[in-house]
A and B are shown apart, each in its own frame.
Chain A
Amino acid sequence: MYRYDIHDQTLVDERVAQFRDQMDRYRAGRLGEEEFRPLRLQNGLYIQKHAPMLRIAIPYGMLAGKQLRALADITRRYDRGYGHFTTRQNLQLNWPALEDVPDILADLAKVQMHAIQTSGNCIRNTTSDQFAGIAGDEVEDPRPWCELIRQWSTLHPEFAYLPRKFKIAVSGAAQDRAAIQVHDIGLRLWHNADGEVRIKVLAGGGLGRTPMIGDVVREDLPWQHLLTYLEACVRVYNQFGRRDNKFKARIKILVKALGIEEFRRRVDEEWAHLKDGPQTLNQAAVDAAKIHFPEPARRPVTDSAIAEFERLRGENRSLARFVTNNVTDHKVSGYKAVTLSLKRREHAPGDVTADQMEAVADLADRYSFGEVRVTHEQNLVLSDVPVDELEALWKELDALGMANPTVGTLNDIICCPGGDYCGLANAVSIPIAQALQERFEDLDFLYDLGPLDLNISGCMNACGHHHVGHIGILGVDKKGEEYYQISIGGNSTDDASLGKILGPSFFREDVPDVVDKVLQVYVAERHEDERFLDTYRRIGLKPFKERVYAQQ
C-alpha cells in the first residue's frame, strides 16, 4: 500500500480546508450554482436524483483494512450504512447530506483518502489490474507507476478544466485486466530484450455515446518519460479537443478527427519540448515509489498443505465451485487471490453494507496482510490467501453472503446505478440485473455457459460498460417509456471489441426472455469448450437475431 508522507497528508488536509471554504461560500450565496459545480464535482460531489452523491477515490483499487473500516464508519454516520463500488474502482455514497461533505472529506483524510478528481472535466482516478503484484502473467507491477501518475495528475494546474473527463488505466501483465483499450489513455507496461521497462501508450479509446477502441500512439516509450509524455498527450487534448459540443469533446473524437498519425505528430512535437524536462523520472524516484509495494512476508505453504487443499477441493463440491470461479492463481505457490462477490439478488451489483465492509477488513487482516482490492467488475479481492486457510475463509465469506461462486459467469453482472439513483439515467438498471440474476441462478447452468460478461447501463454514458459486455444491455428512453437495447460481442480484454446491437429494443419485462434466447442459440451452436464470445465471433449476429425476433 502507498502510505502518505507529510506532503501527501498536508495536501489532502489543505484540500479539505479549501472545499470547506468553497462550501461555505456556496451556502452563503457568494459562489453561484454554476461556478460551484466543477468545484464540487472535482471533490466527488454530485447533485443526484434523490440526494447528493459522493464518489470516493480508491487509487488503482487498493484499500487498507483500516481504510475500509473508516468507510464503513462514514456510511453509518453520514449515509444509510452501505456504499456502492463502481467500475472505476471508486466507492459511491448515495445519501450524504450536502452540508456534511466537508466533514466526510476530513474523515477520509484521516485515513489517507480523498475524493479529489473523482468527477469533473479533469484527470480521473487511475485504474489498474486488480491482480497487480500477484498475477502469474505479470511483467511489471503497475502500482508504483499508477502512484506516480496519481501524484502527477492530482491538482495538476493546467488540466483542471479539460474539454471533458479523462480516464487513464494501466496494465502490466500479459493479459489486460484493466480494459486499457477503452480508456482515454491506456498504458501497457512491458520489458524489452534488455529487461528495461517500456510503455505502450494507447489513446482515444472510450465508451459512452461514441464507443471506440484506442489507437497505439507509441509502442515503446522508455519509462523515464512516462510523465512528460502523458503531459504532452493531455496538453494536445487541452488545446485542440472540441469544446463546442460536450458529446464530441472526449479525446477519442480528437484522435479520430486528426487521425492517429497527426495526433501522434502533435504529441511528439509537444513532447520534444517536455522530454528530459524536470518531470523526467529517474531510477531513484521509481524505487521510492516501489518501496510502498513490497512483497508481503508470506509464510511458506508446504507441499502437503497444498495436497490437502486439493483433496478438500475434490471432496467438497461447494468449495470446488467457489475455487473454480472465485479463486485465481497466484505467482507464489501455495497462495491464491480470492474474489469476493458483491453480486446478489438482494441488492444492487457492487453494493456492500457497513457490516460487510468491517467484516471484510477483518478477514483481510487475518487472511491477506490487511489489504483489499476493488475490481472494475465491482467485486472485492483478497490477494494473498494461503491455500491451507482457504476453506476457513470461504466459510466466513459464505456467512457474510459474499461467497457467491459466480465470478466471471453471467450472474457476475456489471451494472450502473441507473434510474433508481442517477440523474443522467434514461432507465433503471438494477432491477434488470436482479431479474436476470433471479432467472439465471442455477449454478450448473451458469457454469455450463462458461465465462460470460453481462453488462448493463441505464443510459448511453455507459457507466455499466455495456458496449464491452459479451452481452450488453442499454436502457433507452422513447417518449418517456423505458426500453432496453441488447448488444452482443463486446469485450474489454486483449482482443477488445464493441458489441453489435441485435435490433429493436425490448420492454423491461421481456429482457430475461431475450437473454435466454440469446443463450439458447449459443448452447445450440457452440463447439466443445467454445466461449460465448468465440461462438458469436464465428457465427455472427444473424442466428441470434433470427431467434430473438422470430414470430411466435
Chain B
Amino acid sequence: MPSNDTQTDAVELTPVHVDHLIADGELAAENAWCVSYDTETLPEQRPAFVPLALWQANQDDVELAPLLSSDTELTTELGQQLSGTNAIAVDFPAFTDGRGYTLARLLRERYGYTGEIRAVGDVLVDQLDYMRRCGFTAMALRDDQHPDDAIRALNMFSVRYQTDVEQRQALFERRLLASE
C-alpha cells in the first residue's frame, strides 16, 4: 500500500478546544469536548476525543470517544466496534485531505452509525455542506473561520444531484417520481 505521510505534520499533543462548533446546522452553545492527538497518554480534560488505539484500550471510560485519523482503514470489525460509542471525531489534517468524507459516509451508510460524527482539524467554512451531506453532524471550525460565514455556507444549496446521507434518492429518481 502506498504510504500516506501527511498525518505526521499536524500532530498536536495539547488537547484542543475550538471556539466555534457547528452542530446540527447551528452554532453550538456548548462545546464540552476536547480533542487530544496524544497517542500515548490520556488527557486530563474530559470528555475527550482520543486517538483510536487509545480509545480502544480504554473503552470503559464513557468520557472518551475515538478520534479517527484520515487514513483509518474502516474494516468491518472496526465499523462494528465503533457502533458502541456515541460520538466519533474524524480528523482533517489538511482541508485538502478528502478521506474524511468517505469515512463518514461509510460509518453512516455501511455501518449504520447514528451517533455524532464530528469533523475536527483543518475544518473550513466552505467544506461544511459537503461534510453534512457525508454524515457529519458537528464541525469544529478552525480558529480563524467565521461562524456567520459558516452558517451561510451551509445553506447555499437547495439542489443536489447525487444521493447522500441525508438525501437517499438521486435527483433522477425524484424527477421520475414527480413526473408520474
Contact = CB atoms under 8 A, between A and B. Distances in A.
A547 B176 CA distance: 64
Given A157-B133, A278-B163, A288 B98 contact: no
Interface residues of A, number: 55
Interface in B101-126: 101-102, 105, 109-110, 124-126
A160 B134 CA distance: 12
Given A30-B149, A161-B95, A285-B173, A279 B160 contact: no
A38 interface: yes
Contacts of B169: 278
Nearest to A11: B159
Interface stretch (B3-11, B34-42, B55-63, B83-91): B3-11
B98 A155 contact: no
Contacts of A227: 170
A227 B162 CA distance: 10
A14 interface: yes
Interface string A50-61: 000000000000
Interface string B59-103: 000000000000001000000000000000000000111110110
A10 interface: yes
A160 B98 contact: yes
B157 A248 contact: no
Given A157-B134, A159-B98, A238-B99, A151 B171 contact: yes
A257 B101 CA distance: 24
Contact of A243 (B95, B97, B168): B97
Contact of B129 (A152, A157, A239): A157
Interface centre among A30, A227, A278 (most CB of B within 10 A): A278
A109 to B, nearest CB: 13
A5 B176 CA distance: 13
Interface stretch (A17-25, A73-81, A100-108, A307-315): A17-25
B156 interface: yes
Interface in B137-164: 144, 146, 149, 152-153, 156-164
Nearest to B131: A157
A148 B172 contact: yes
A284 interface: yes
Interface residues of B, number: 48
A243 B6 contact: yes
Contacts of A289: 172
A284 B178 CA distance: 13
A254 B172 contact: no
Interface in A364-386: none
A479 B159 CA distance: 51
Interface centre among B95, B124, B163 (most CB of A within 10 A): B163
Contacts of A35: 95, 124, 126
Given A25-B149, A152-B162, A278-B173, A244 B156 contact: no
A7 B157 contact: no
A253 interface: yes
Contacts of A345: none
Contact of B159 (A7, A121, A239, A248): A7
A152 B2 contact: no
B2 A257 contact: yes
A239 B99 contact: yes
Contacts of B168: 278
Contact of B161 (A121, A152, A160): A152
A155 B6 contact: no
B98 A162 contact: yes
A31 B145 CA distance: 8
Contacts of B153: 18, 21
A121 B102 CA distance: 15
B172 A285 contact: yes
A8 B157 CA distance: 12
Contacts of A257: 1-2
Interface string A1-45: 000010110110011011001100100001110010011000000
Contacts of A5: 175
19 contacts: A10-B159, A11-B159, A25-B149, A35-B95, A154-B161, A157-B131, A157-B162, A158-B134, A161-B95, A162-B98, A163-B98, A239-B99, A242-B4, A243-B6, A273-B110, A277-B163, A279-B163, A284-B176, A285-B176
Interface of A: 5, 7-8, 10-11, 14-15, 17-18, 21-22, 25, 30-32, 35, 38-39, 121, 148, 151-152, 154-163, 227, 235, 238-244, 248, 253-254, 257-258, 273, 277-279, 281, 284-285, 288-289
Given A14-B158, A151-B171, A239-B73, 17 more contacts: A5-B175, A7-B159, A30-B149, A151-B172, A155-B160, A157-B101, A157-B130, A158-B102, A158-B130, A158-B134, A160-B127, A161-B96, A161-B98, A278-B173, A279-B163, A288-B172, A289-B172
